[in-house]
Amino acid sequence: MAASSSSVSLLISCSFCLLSFLALSSALQTAASRRDGRSRISSLISQQLFDSFFLHKDDPACPANNFYTYASFLQASTSFPKFGNTGSQVRRRREVAAFLAQVSHETTGGWPTAPDGPFAWGLCFKEEVSPQSDYCDSTNKQWPCYPGRSYKGRGPIQLSNFNYGQAGKALGFDGLRNPEIVSNNSLVSFKTALWFWMTEQKPKPSCHKVMVGRYVRTRDDLAANRTVGFGMVTNIINGGLECGLPNDGRVNDRIGYFQRYANLFGVDTGPNLDCQYQKPFN
């Protein structure tokens, strides 16, 4: 028997209701996930603890004063649900401490005799001072430079070069045409740093995977004496300039921040803090 027009209409209506319900359910789950992400990171690092890490980031002497906010950090972290949410509580805290230590070195305003010590001055700068070039790689056809733009270091991780294009594609902004957004928008700025932290760029692993103990060294790593720990993260970030050197001051500065933050978190730093015996990644 053929279905009546009223039955067909009812069937279509019910199907539409089901699709609407599924869409609403998905949206609610996404919203809940974002709220949970915010709660997850804030349960590891409160506003008070965040402020104790960065005692001077909002001093008038810091060019980035009032730019790197706790709220932006929390919101940015919701875009990367595995950040600070992998492994034991110790590993989670250690990863956040390592991330904040690395970005603190990249943006430091400290000096040896600074008030509260040199490792209380992270997140003081939001862009590179006196860059030596515009960091345009004219040979890179995949991520071509836009005329008149500078790809100098910006943001917590001091994003530079073609990373602007990659980060922009991943995060939804035009990094090649508008690299300045990284030092003009606090949320975008933190997102670029977390993107760099969480993203594998072969032959380099992600900093995240290293710090949570999920990275298995390759044959090349073994030959290059690249040991898993904070030192390998430094190698990922700037190994070409800092690793394979004895007692490098920049490496020691990164370690100093990490040791202070790990102590404030109440966790140990883990082994292999430096990269002085490691060969840089190619």
* Token pair 């950090």 in the structure block, residue: 73
CB 96 within 8 A of CB 89: no
- What are the pLDDT tens digits along the chain (282 aa)? 444 444 434 433 444 444 344 344 434 444 444 444 555 899 999 999 999 999 999 999 999 999 999 999 999 999 999 999 999 999 999 999 999 999 999 999 999 999 999 999 999 999 999 998 999 998 999 999 999 999 999 999 999 999 999 999 999 999 999 999 999 999 999 999 999 999 999 999 999 999 999 999 999 999 999 999 999 999 999 999 999 999 999 999 999 999 999 999 999 999 999 999 999 997
Co-location of 120 and 207 in the same domain = yes
| pTM across the whole model | 0.87
Domain assignment present for residue 181? The answer is yes
Q: Select which of 106, 127, 128, 242 is catalytic.
A: 106
| Final residue before a domain boundary, out of 185, 211, 232 | 185
Query: Is residue 106 flagged as an active site residue?
Result: yes
172 Cβ contact list (under 8 Å, min separation 6): none
- For residue 78, the one-letter residue type is T
* Token pair 């939001």 in the structure block, residue: 126
Helix (H, G, I), strand (E, B) or coil at 204: strand
31 Cβ contact list (under 8 Å, min separation 6): none
Domain assignment present for residue 116? The answer is yes
Co-location of 163 and 218 in the same domain = no
CA distance 64 to 244: 32
Co-location of 233 and 106 in the same domain = yes
According to the model, what pLDDT value does residue 13 have? 46
Domain assignment present for residue 273? The answer is yes
